Amino acid sequence: MFGSARRRPPKGPSNRQLANTLKAQGPREGWSKIISTYGPTFRLDASLVATCDPALAAKILYHRPHTTDRSRLHRSMATALPGLDGILFKDHDPWLQRIQTLMPALKRSKVIPYAAHIHTLAMHQVERGSGPDLAGVATALGQAVFLDHALGLVPKHPLGKALTQWLHRLETPQDRLDVPHVSLRRLARLPWYQRALKERFEQIEALVAAALPNAPEHCWGRLLHDKAGLDVTEVTTELTHIYWAYDAVHYIMTAVLYELGQRPKWRQALRQELNDALGQCPHPQREDKDKLPLCHAFLHEVQRRYPATMGVARKLGEDLSTDAFDLKAGTEMLLLLYPLHHDPERWPDPEDFNPRRWLDRPGDGRSAVAFAPFLHGPRRCIGRYLAELELMGCLNAFVRHVDLKVYNDDIPMTTDMIPRFAAPIPFQLKRLEPN
């Protein structure tokens, strides 16, 4: 309980002002201006508080009462958009049911043996040669990994195309809802947007229903159906939801390749480290981790520089006080990952891409609360180990077997809460002679 005078965070920009600032200046300069103007914690509306204060973020991420009930942002997305009402938007028993079913399959010990297959899939992308957009390479690799884990399907299965069509429709720029300000025009288009998503979801459901009986028992779809007792529609919803969430890995992988393609000195340094550490072994093993400090530093810096989401929503489960203000139970919070990862007090020259900053410190290079690519606490990302394995597998294949170049080093990001590169990234691959 608070005293007679509850201290409130300062009022921040309106949603429209936030959207206009980000649109005019881009995420990098826009967020910097917003934080310098309003401070690290501010009110976006009567019940939504945004913060990039690492100490406050840690209290919210790690303290279980603040992870129990999903936020209104999660609930509205799950309700409005067919295919999104899945595990990340669930709370209480439905969340526990799904997390307890899937978590054993996503443990590090279960994921590590998959490294050889990820290497094979990554090499398929290497062999395709140069192309018009790095995002297509990352998506193809990620989709192949997803289809295999979800239902034991090969990359060319029709479900892959159906998922791509659903996701492209979900992320149509003029319709998507993960924007700072939802205009009346966008709301007017919502019924049509929902119908289009529903039609694509029904196509996916038919393909899942056909594939599910023959899927291996360890696949996510079978686990959700057999162990969690979900019906085909519920399984399909979980798989589309996971695929949507997994698309964040595609974005980060695109960023890995984008940064590689701009930096010949880093390509050479990483190539030397991988060849020295692995010798004739085609891909890294678990025991090679300590031999690859440059590779891990490079991947950490990509994840710092390109967080998978601009912000993460939470709902306070009990009153929370800081030295500066008091927050009531039920307050909606938005943890701003992009400003958190670009705070100049914790990341000197934050806009510089500098993997060597990670070599000077043990662990993740900064306190955990200042670097949260997979979040922390009870609601941290359950797919972290698979994502890390995929990122390392992609890095290894594109460093050791080809020389990757991109010719545009100034491609902006979108201003959506779930960012993407705003333009295609043409690239060139030159095969390297075997060692």
Which pLDDT score, from 0 to 100, does residue 365 have? 44
Q: How many CA atoms lie within 13 A of 421 on its CB side?
A: 25
Give the confidence band of 45 by pLDDT, cuts at 50, 70, 90.
confident
Flag whether 353 is in a domain. yes
- For residue 234, what is the enclosing H or E element? helix 232-262
Q: Is residue 430 part of a domain?
A: no
Structure tokens that stand for 377 in this block:
């606490």
pLDDT bracket for residue 179 (50, 70, 90) = confident
pLDDT tier for residue 170 given thresholds of 50, 70 and 90: very high
pTM of the model: 0.95
User: What is residue 213's three-state secondary structure?
Assistant: helix
- 112: helix, coil or strand? helix
Given a cut of 60, is residue 367 above it in pLDDT? no
| 331: containing domain | 15-422
In tens, the pLDDT along 253-291 reads 999 999 999 999 999 999 999 999 999 999 999 899 899
- Looking at 195-209, 239-253, 350-364, 411-425, which range is the least confident one? 350-364
- In Å, how far are 96, 215, 312 from 101, measured between CA atoms? 8, 16, 24
**Cα angle at 74 between 84 and 315, to 5 degrees?**
155
pLDDT at 155 exceeding the cut of 50: yes
Spatial separation of the C-alpha atoms in residues 195 and 83, rounded to whole Å: 12
Give the CATH number, domain containing residue 65: 1.10.630.10
Close Cβ partners of 431 (under 8 Å, ≥ 6 residues apart): 401, 402
Q: How confident is the model at residue 409 (pLDDT cuts 50, 70, 90)?
A: confident
CA 209 to chain CA centroid, Å, is 28
Instruction: Compute the average pLDDT of residues 113-141.
Output: 96
- 429 strand-pairing partners: 404
Locus of tokens 């306070």: 316
In a domain, 242, yes or no: yes
Residues 6+ apart with CB under 8 A from 420: 135, 171, 251, 413, 414
How far is residue 335's CA from residue 373's CA, in Å, rounded to a whole number?
12
Asked whether residue 315 is assigned to any structural domain, the reply reads: yes
Q: Is residue 341 situated within a structural domain?
A: yes
Q: What percent of the chain has pLDDT over 70?
A: 97
Can you spell out the DSSP letters for 246-311?
Answer: HHHHHHHHHHHHHHHHH-HHHHHHHHHHHHHHHTT-SS--GGGGGG-HHHHHHHHHHHHHS-S-SE
When divided into structural domains, the chain yields a total of 1
1 within a domain of the structure (yes/no):
no
| Domain-located, residue 8 | no
- Structural domain includes residue 4: no
| Mean pLDDT value across residues 340-351 | 93
Contact 260, 401 (CB under 8 A): no
- Segment 240-262 shows an average pLDDT of 96
Interaxial angle between packed helices 158-170 and 134-151, expressed in degrees from 0 to 180 and rounded to the nearest 10: 120
Whether 8 has a pLDDT exceeding 60, the answer reads yes
Q: Residue 66: how many CB atoms within 10 A of its CB?
A: 23
Mean pLDDT of 335-354: 94
Computed over every residue of the chain, the mean pLDDT equals 93
